Structure 1
C-alpha cells in the first residue's frame, strides 16, 4: 500500500508540472505583450540621431617656435651688465647683455684723434695744392691717410658693437645661464630666445595618407597639459620628399599662440579632418554582426503591440561609442541598444530604458 501511495504521489506531481507548462505556453501565446509583468523581453532603446563624422588622419607632432636662437657672445670678454630677466619678453633690437669694452673705448678715442689729425692735414694740403704751393700728389697722399684713419674708426666701433648683444627679434627669453663679471666667449650659451607668437608644428604621416594633406588644410591639436582644449591651425608646408626608410612624409602646420599657452618642445596630438558630413548614428551596442552581415533590431508597433524588427544596415566610421549609418536607418527611428542577445525577430519587447549619445554631435 505504501508503494502504491508513493507512485500515486509521483504521478500527481508529474501531471501538475505538465499542466503548468501547458498553461504557461497558452498564456504566452495569448497575452505575451502585457507589459513588464508579462512575457515581453525587457530592452533599452536608443533613438537614431544625426551626428557629425569626418575622415581623420591622426599623428604626433612636436611644437617649435616661429623663430628660435641661442644667445651667445661674438668675442671673449667679461660681462659688465645683464639687461634681461629669465622668462622676460623682449623687443627686436633690445639690449640683452653688455661686455666690458674699456680697452676698445680707448682704442676708439685714439682712432678718432688720428682721424681728426688726418682730416686737418688733408684740408691744409688740399688748400695749398689749390693755390699751387704744394704738389697735387701730396694732397692725394693725405686723402689716402684720411681714408685709412676713417676705416680704423669704423673697425673699432664694430668691435665695440660686438660687445653689446641685442635681441635679433621679439620673443621670450629663456633661463639666464650667466652672471655679471663672468668671462664668456663664442659658443657659451647666455640664454635662449623664442618667438612663440606662432607655433610651428612638425609631424609625420604614413605615405598612404600623402594625398590627404595639402597646404591650407585645417588641423586640430591637443596637449596633455591642457585636457579638453583644442588648438586649431592650418598646414603651411609639406616636405617635398618621402623618407625612403620610414615611408613617411613630414608636414608642418602653424598655430596662432597669442596667449602663449603652447611652448616649443611640447608633444601634441594632431588630427587632420576631411570629408566632414552629418549621418544617422547609433550606439555600438545596438549593432549585431553575423558573418559578413550587420543588422539591428528596430522597435515596431503593430497589432501584437511592441515588437522587434530585424533591419540590415551598412555602417561606416566608429567614434566615441557611436556608429555611422550609411544605409538602412533613418533619423528618428528607435533601435534596441541593450538586451539584443535576448531578442528574436518579431518577438514582443518591453521598453524599460532609453540610451543615446552623450551629447549632440561628436568627433570622428
Structure 2
C-alpha cells in the first residue's frame, strides 16, 4: 500500500514537473522571439532646421477706437421735418443732417425783427431830440437799452431756430438712424452715432518692464481677423505717464492713417512692436517638434543607418517663440532634420518613415492667423 502511494506521488511529481518545464521553455523562447523582433516603423513628419532673420518683438492684443465718436442728439423739441442722411454713409463737418419743424419759431422771429426795427426807429428819433436838447440823456439811454434788448431778442430767437437743425460736428461715418419723419422729439433724443475713421487710434497695454524700449514715433504693426493676410502699420503717439497698479502695465496709444476706412472702432487686433533695430540670424524650429519637459526640452533628430531612418533624442536650449516657431539657442545645427509630429510613439533608435502628405505637416508660420469658417 505504501509502495503504491509512493509510486503515485512520484508520477504526479514527474507530471507536474514536466508541465512546468514545458511552460518555462515556452516562455523563454517566446520572450526571445519578442526581444529579437524588430520594432515597428513609425510614420512621422519632419523638417530641416535652418537659420532665419529675427528681430526681437513684443506682441500683445489691442482694440481700435475712434478719435472722435459721439451720439448725435437734438438740443430742442419738435416734430422731425426732414432727414438728410442715409444710413452708414460719410458726412462732412457742418453738413445738415436733420431739421425739426420751426414754423412757429420763424413766425416769432419775424415779430421780434419788427419790434427791433421799430426800436431802431425810435432810437434814431430820440437821438435827434437829444441833439436838439429836447430830451434828457437818461431818456436817450433808456431808448438805447430798449433797442439793444430788441436786437438781443432777435439773436436769441435765431439761436433757438438753429437748435431745430442738426449738423455734423466732424467728418466721419454716420450710423443707423434711430428717428423717423414726423416723430416728436424731446431734447437729448438720440438720432444716430457719428464716428470718425480717418485716422484711428489703437489702444493696448504692455508690461512695465517694456517701458525702456518704448518711445513716441515707434512703428507698430497690427493684423485683424477680417483681413488676416494684411499688416497695418501705425506709430506710437501716446504713452501713459502712470502704471496701472493692479496689472503693472502701461497704456499705449498708436495712430493709424486708415485711408480706406478698413479699420473700425471696436475691432480687436494682434499688435507687434519691434524691440531694437538689429536683425539677427537665428536657428528656428517648429514648436510642434519640441518635447517640453521639466528636466529639459528635447527633439528627435533623424539619422540614416543601414539604408533606414532612425531617431535619436537630443536635448536643446530654446529661446523666444513667435507664431509656430521657436528659437533654438543650443543643441542643433543648421541642416539637422528633426521630427515634427508623432513624437509620442518614438524612442531612441526607433525606425521611422517620413510622410510626404502636406495635409498632416504642422504649420511653420511666424505669423499664423486663425481663419473663421
Q: What's the TM-score, normalizing by structure 2?
A: 0.71
Q: Is the 8 A contact 1:299 1:334 kept in 2?
A: no
Q: Is the 8 A contact 2:324 2:366 kept in 1?
A: no
Q: How many angstroms apart in 1 are the aligned matches of 2:328 and 2:220?
A: 25
Within the alignment, does 1:185 sit opposite 2:186 as a pair? yes
Within the alignment, does 1:202 sit opposite 2:185 as a pair? no
Bigger mean CA offset, 95-104 vs 137-146? 137-146
The unaligned stretches of length 5 or more in structure 2 are 1-28, 30-35, 37-41, 369-373
Q: How many angstroms apart in 1 are the aligned matches of 2:292 and 2:198?
A: 51
3-state DSSP class of the match of 1:128?
A: helix
Bigger mean CA offset, 216-225 vs 111-120? 216-225
Cα 1:296/1:212, change in 2 over 3 Å? farther
Q: Is the 8 A contact 2:199 2:255 kept in 1?
A: yes
1:160 counterpart residue number: 161
* Alignment coverage as a number of residue pairs: 328
Residue pairs, 1:104-183, within 5 angstroms = 104-183=105-184
3-state DSSP class of the match of 1:107?
A: helix
Cα 1:124/1:46, change in 2 over 3 Å? same
How far did 1:46 drift?
A: 4.6
Q: Is the 8 A contact 1:53 1:317 kept in 2?
A: no
Q: For each residue in 1:96-150, what CA deviation from the matched residue of structure 2 results, as whole angstroms up to 9, or x when unmatched?
A: 1111111211121111111111111111222232233444433332222211111
How far did 1:295 drift?
A: 7.6
Within the alignment, does 1:254 sit opposite 2:235 as a pair? no
2:87 counterpart residue number: 86
Cα 1:198/1:289, change in 2 over 3 Å? closer
Bigger mean CA offset, 85-94 vs 61-70? 61-70
Q: Is the 8 A contact 1:289 1:295 kept in 2?
A: no
1:316 counterpart residue number: 319
3-state DSSP class of the match of 2:243?
A: coil
The two structures, once aligned, show a CA RMSD in angstroms of 4.2
Residue pairs, 1:296-311, within 5 angstroms = 297=301
Cα 1:133/1:199, change in 2 over 3 Å? same
Q: Is the 8 A contact 1:298 1:311 kept in 2?
A: no
1:279 counterpart residue number: 282
How far did 1:52 drift?
A: 3.2
Q: What's the TM-score, normalizing by structure 1?
A: 0.72
3-state DSSP class of the match of 2:244?
A: coil
Q: How many angstroms apart in 2 are the aligned matches of 1:113 and 1:289?
A: 90
1:28 counterpart residue number: none
2:269 counterpart residue number: 268
Cα 1:320/1:166, change in 2 over 3 Å? closer
Cα 1:280/1:78, change in 2 over 3 Å? same
Q: For each residue in 1:199-249, what CA deviation from the matched residue of structure 2 results, as whole angstroms up to 9, or x when unmatched?
A: 222223344444444332322223223333322222222223333334333
How far did 1:156 drift?
A: 0.7
How far did 1:287 drift?
A: 5.9
Q: Is the 8 A contact 2:47 2:338 kept in 1?
A: yes
Bigger mean CA offset, 244-253 vs 291-300? 291-300
The unaligned stretches of length 5 or more in structure 1 are 1-16, 18-23, 25-40, 301-305
Q: How many angstroms apart in 1 are the aligned matches of 2:288 and 2:151?
A: 87
Q: Is the 8 A contact 1:53 1:324 kept in 2?
A: no
Q: How many angstroms apart in 1 are the aligned matches of 2:312 and 2:188?
A: 77
Q: For each residue in 1:50-91, what CA deviation from the matched residue of structure 2 results, as whole angstroms up to 9, or x when unmatched?
A: 323344433332321120011001111111111111111110
Q: How many angstroms apart in 2 are the aligned matches of 1:315 and 1:261?
A: 38
1:243 counterpart residue number: 244
1:35 counterpart residue number: none
3-state DSSP class of the match of 1:122?
A: helix
Q: How many angstroms apart in 2 are the aligned matches of 1:325 and 1:99?
A: 69
Q: Is the 8 A contact 2:80 2:99 kept in 1?
A: yes
3-state DSSP class of the match of 1:265?
A: coil
